[in-house]
Structure 1
Amino acid sequence: MSHHRPDVDVIVVGAGMAGLVCADRLRRRGVEVLLAEARDQVGGRTAGIEVDGETVDLGGQFIGPGQDRMYALAAELGVATFPTHTAGANVLETEAGRSRRFRGMVPKLGPLTLLDVARAQSRLDRLARTVDAEAPWRGPDAAALDGRTLQSWIDRTLKTRGGRRFLVLACRAIWACEPSELSLLHALFYVKAAGSLAAVTDVEGGAQQDRLDGGAYGLAARLAGRLGTAIRLNAPVQRIEQDDSGVVVTADDGTAWRAGHAVVAVPPPLAARITFRPPLPAARDNLLQRLPMGSVIKYVAGYPEPFWRQAGLSGTALSLRGPVAMTVDSSPRSGRRGVLIAFVTGTPARDLATRSPAERRATVLDALGRLFGPQAATPVSLVERNWNEETFARGAYAAVFPPGAWTQLGSALRAPVGRIHWAGAETSPRWYGYIDGAVRSGEAAADAVTRAIRTAPARGRPS
C-alpha cells in the first residue's frame, strides 16, 4: 500500500444521509472524497420512489423540534418544511377489533389504564434523565439497567393488562422490536438522546411534527447533486485494508480505491459483513455482531383524495389488534391526493413477511379498512417496503441494543480504528436512529477526519 499514491483523501462507505453529509462537509473544506454506495440510488434509509408525479418516502421522513441539524440542512438546500396533518380525531383499534376515537397521543384506555400508562411514562423520563447520552455505559446504575429488558421493566412497573399491552405496542412503534429484545438501558438512552419520551412519540411538538417538500429522499438527492461524480453507485464494499500509509477500499467487482482515511457510514449489520485487514479490535467486532436492526414493513397507500379528513379523522391510528401498529396521514402538501402510511413492526412484521405478496396485501388492506372504512381498503396504489429484506439495510429504523451490549461493548461504538472512522444514525448521542442523528454523525465524522488530516505528517497526495 505504501508504494501507491492515494486516489483521494477520504473514502466514505455508504451514501445514506450520514455518508452524504460527511462527504459534502469534507468536499467544502477542500478534501478530495469518493463516496461508495452499494445501491443504485443514494439515500440509505431515506429511500424513495415517484408515484403519480410525487416523491413517496419509503423510509425515514419526519423531523421535529430539536432536530436542528436537519432543519439547517433543509434550509441550506432550499427545501421547505410543512406540518404533518393532525387535524381531526385519531383512532384506536382494540384487541377485540372495536374502534375508539381520541385526541392527543394517548388513547382512551379506561381511567385505571390511563393512570398506569401516565405513571410509567413519567418514570421512564425520570430514569432517562440519569443516563449519560455520550457514554450510556457509565453511571452507577448502568449495569443493572443494561442487565434488564424493557419487557421485565414493563412487567414489574405496570399494574394493568391494558397498560402493559399499550407499552408493547409503543415499543414496536418506536423501536420496531419486542420489549423482550431491548435493553432497558438502551430504551432510556434513546429517550435521553431525543430529550424526552414525548419528543419521541408526539406529532405536534415531537419528532413527527414536520415533513419536507419533495420528501426526505428528495433532500438526499439534492445533497448528492452537489457531490456529482464523487459518488460511485452499485459499488458494495467488500474489504477495507489499512496500514500506516493509508487505506484501500475494495468493492465486490474488484475495483479498489486508495485513500488516507475511510469513513464507514452503514448500519452495523452491514459493517459486520465487510472484511477488515487487519481485523477490527475484538470489542468493535463483537459489538457489530450483537446489533440487529429493528423489523419494519412500511406501506404507502395512495387515494384520489384524503377522504378520512372529511370524516373528521386525522389519519393517525393505533391498533392493538394488528398487524398494522400505526398509520399516519402522509398526503402531499397540495392535498391533491391522499396518502396513508402504515407500519407493521416487530414480531408482526416478521410473521407477515413469511406470507405471499398477495396475502400481505390483503392483510394490510383489511387492517386499513377496519381503521378507516371500506374506502381505505381500495387504494389506487399500494407500495410495500420490507426493510428486513433490503440487502443493504437488513432492517429499520435503527440497530437494537440487547441487554449487556452497551455496558460491555458500547465504548467501541464511536471510537475510530486507526484510519477508519464511523458514522450513521447509530453513532449519534443526540437523536439516535433519526435522520437528524445521521446528519450529526456525518458532521462529527467529517470533523474527526479533518483533524486527523491536519495533524498527520505530509504523506501521499496533498490535502
Structure 2
Amino acid sequence: MSGSRKSHSSETTVDVVIVGAGFAGLSAAERLVSTGRSVMVVEGRDRVGGRSRSGEVAGVQVDLGATWVAPRHTAIRDLASRVGCTTTGQFAQGRNVLWLAGRRRTYSGTIPKVSPATLLDMARMQTAVNKLVAPIDVNAPWETPGADRLDALSFGEWLDRKNALPSTRALMTIVSKVQWGCPPGDVSLLHVLRYIRAAGGLDHMLDVEGGANQDRFVETTQEIAKRVAERLGDRVRLDTAVRRVTQDGDGVTVSTDSGEIRAGYAIVTAAPEHRAAIAFEPALPEQAEGLARTWPMGALSKAFVAYEKPFWRVEGLSGEAVTDTGTVFITFDVSPAPGGPGVLMTFCDPRVFDGFDPRTRRDMVVRQLVDLYGPQARTPIDYLDHCWGSEPFAPGGPHPAAGPHATTRYGKALTEPHGRVHWAGTETAGEWAGTMNGAVLAGQRTAERILTLLPRAVREGASR
C-alpha cells in the first residue's frame, strides 16, 4: 500500500504512538498531525481499515466488513468527503422476502408483515425495548437506573420473560446476529440497550431510508482508510504487532517485533478483547483485565453472489430477504447498476458456515438464494466470502458480545486511562458506538484529550 510502511527494525521517538490503523486510530493521527504533533501509527495487520475490508466479486468492489452510513453519521461522511469518497443509496425498491418457519412470503417496509398475532407481538416488544432504551446512559451505561437488573439478564432471557412468540423470537435473533455477532442468549440486555440507544434507536438502527442502512460508499469503506493513511505517509506502519507497552513518569515505550517506539502518550484502539494480546507494565488494573475477558468479539461472516443482472428487480423484489433457516439469515442488493452485474450480499451464521471449505460454503449459500429468489439464483457468475472469526489477527466482529454482568462490573475500563495509555475505538464512543462514525469521533476526542496533556511549550513550538 502506498503511503505506509511495512515493519522494519527501528527505534523511534514521537509525541504520540497509536496502536491500530482503523478509523479511530487514523482519525486520532490525522487530528494530532494537524496540530504539528509527531505521531506513529502501528498496525498488526498487513492493511489499514480495521473492521473495514474491501473485496472484489465479478469486477465489483464490495465491503467485506463495515458497510453502511446514515445521514446523521456526519463524522465519517466528512472524513470520506475530504479524501474524495462518495456515497450511493442502498437499493430498497420493491418487496422484501421473508422465509420463516418453512414458508416464503413477501412484504414491504422494515418489519416483515407476518401474521396479525406476530405483528402485535412485534409491536409490543418494540414498545418494551424503546421504554428500556430511553434512560440508558450511552457514555456510562452502568450508571443507568436499574443497570444491575438489566445487566443480570441476557437478551434471550428477557425475550423469554416477555413471552415473545416464536416468530418474534426468530426475528430478534436475526437482529442479534447481525448487530452483535451472536444469538440473544449470549449478550447482556444492558449491552443490547446501550448499542440501540447509541445507534439512535431501534428504528434508526434497522431502517434503510433515513436510517443506519441508507447509504454505502461507492469506493468501499476501506478505501476511505487507505486514502487517510496515504496522507499520513510513513507515519503508518503495517505488519507491526504490538507486544508490550511499558510506561514511567516520562512516557511510554511500545515494543514490537521490529523495534521500540518511545512517546509521551499512547492511544490504543483495539477492541476490548484484543487489548489482552498486549502486555502492559505496570499491569492493567483488575477491572481493565476483566473487560478484556468478558467482552469477547462476536462472529459474523459475509458472502457475495454475483449474477449477470439483478434479475430479482424485474420481479419487483428489493434483494432484501430475511430467513430463519440455514446459514444465510439476511440478504441485500449491492449491485452497482441496473444493467448488471447483480450482486447479493448475504450475512451468514459462522457456526454453520465457517468450518466448511469454500466450495461447500458457496453451495450452501446458493441453495438458500434459490429458495429465496427462484431458479435464476442457481447459476451465479462469481462468488466471494469472508469469515471474520477466522482472521489470523484480531479476529471477530462486528461488535463485542458482552454477556450478563460484564458491563456493570467492567464497563468503566472502556475509557478510563491507564496512566499514559488512553483508549479509543468505536466501543468507547458513547453516541454512535459500534459504527464507523463512532470510531472517527472516538479517535478525534481522544486526540483532543491527549493534546491537553502534552507539554504546553512543546505544543506551542510545534504549532509555529
1:315-369 deviations in Å (ceiling 9; x for gaps): 1000011321101111225754221110013xxx123222333322211111112
Residues 35-184 of structure 1: pairs in structure 2 closer than 5 A: 35-96=41-102, 98-184=103-189
CA shift at 1:402, angstroms? 0.9
CA pair 192-454 structure 1, distance change in 2 beyond 3 A: farther
Distance 1:216 1:458 in 2: 35
The answer on whether the counterparts of 1:269 and 1:394 sit within 8 Å (CA) in structure 2 is no
> Aligned residue for 1:24?
30
CA shift at 1:436, angstroms? 0.9
> Aligned residue for 2:297?
293
CA pair 361-67 structure 1, distance change in 2 beyond 3 A: same
CA shift at 1:458, angstroms? 6.2
> Aligned residue for 1:410?
411
Distance 1:443 1:172 in 2: 29
Distance 1:400 1:333 in 2: 36
> Aligned residue for 2:435?
434
SS at match of 2:68: coil
Distance 1:50 1:453 in 2: 43
Distance 1:451 1:168 in 2: 44
Residues 19-418 of structure 1: pairs in structure 2 closer than 5 A: 19-96=25-102, 98-251=103-256, 253-332=257-336, 336-345=340-349, 349-418=350-419
Give the letter aligned to residue 392 of structure 1. F
The answer on whether the counterparts of 1:296 and 1:343 sit within 8 Å (CA) in structure 2 is yes
CA pair 46-73 structure 1, distance change in 2 beyond 3 A: same
Distance 1:377 1:177 in 2: 29
Give the letter aligned to residue 358 of structure 1. R
Distance 2:328 2:419 in 1: 44
SS at match of 2:454: helix
The answer on whether the counterparts of 2:56 and 2:384 sit within 8 Å (CA) in structure 1 is no
Give the letter aligned to residue 339 of structure 1. V
1:251-293 deviations in Å (ceiling 9; x for gaps): 1x24111111111112222211111111111111111111111
The answer on whether the counterparts of 1:125 and 1:196 sit within 8 Å (CA) in structure 2 is yes
> Aligned residue for 2:420?
419
Distance 2:13 2:309 in 1: 52
Distance 1:202 1:393 in 2: 30
Distance 1:125 1:318 in 2: 23
Query: RMSD in angstroms over aligned alpha carbons?
Result: 1.9
CA pair 159-19 structure 1, distance change in 2 beyond 3 A: closer
CA pair 426-377 structure 1, distance change in 2 beyond 3 A: farther
The answer on whether the counterparts of 1:6 and 1:260 sit within 8 Å (CA) in structure 2 is no
Give the letter aligned to residue 14 of structure 2. V
Give the letter aligned to residue 276 of structure 2. A
Give the letter aligned to residue 182 of structure 1. V
Distance 2:443 2:54 in 1: 21
The answer on whether the counterparts of 1:125 and 1:191 sit within 8 Å (CA) in structure 2 is no
CA shift at 1:76, angstroms? 2.1
1:177-216 deviations in Å (ceiling 9; x for gaps): 1111111111111111112100111111211100112011
CA pair 32-334 structure 1, distance change in 2 beyond 3 A: farther
CA shift at 1:393, angstroms? 3.0
Distance 2:317 2:191 in 1: 34
> Aligned residue for 2:6?
none
The answer on whether the counterparts of 2:180 and 2:298 sit within 8 Å (CA) in structure 1 is yes
Give the letter aligned to residue 312 of structure 2. W
CA shift at 1:158, angstroms? 3.6
Identity %: 40
Instruction: Name which of structure 1's ranges 57-66 and 164-173 shifts more when overlaid on structure 2.
Output: 164-173
What's the TM-score once normalised by structure 1's chain length?
Answer: 0.93
Give the letter aligned to residue 25 of structure 1. R
Give the letter aligned to residue 354 of structure 2. A
CA pair 179-389 structure 1, distance change in 2 beyond 3 A: same
Distance 1:90 1:458 in 2: 58
> Aligned residue for 2:8?
none
Distance 2:339 2:13 in 1: 48
What's the TM-score once normalised by structure 2's chain length?
Answer: 0.93
The answer on whether the counterparts of 1:63 and 1:211 sit within 8 Å (CA) in structure 2 is yes
CA pair 165-246 structure 1, distance change in 2 beyond 3 A: same
Give the letter aligned to residue 24 of structure 1. E
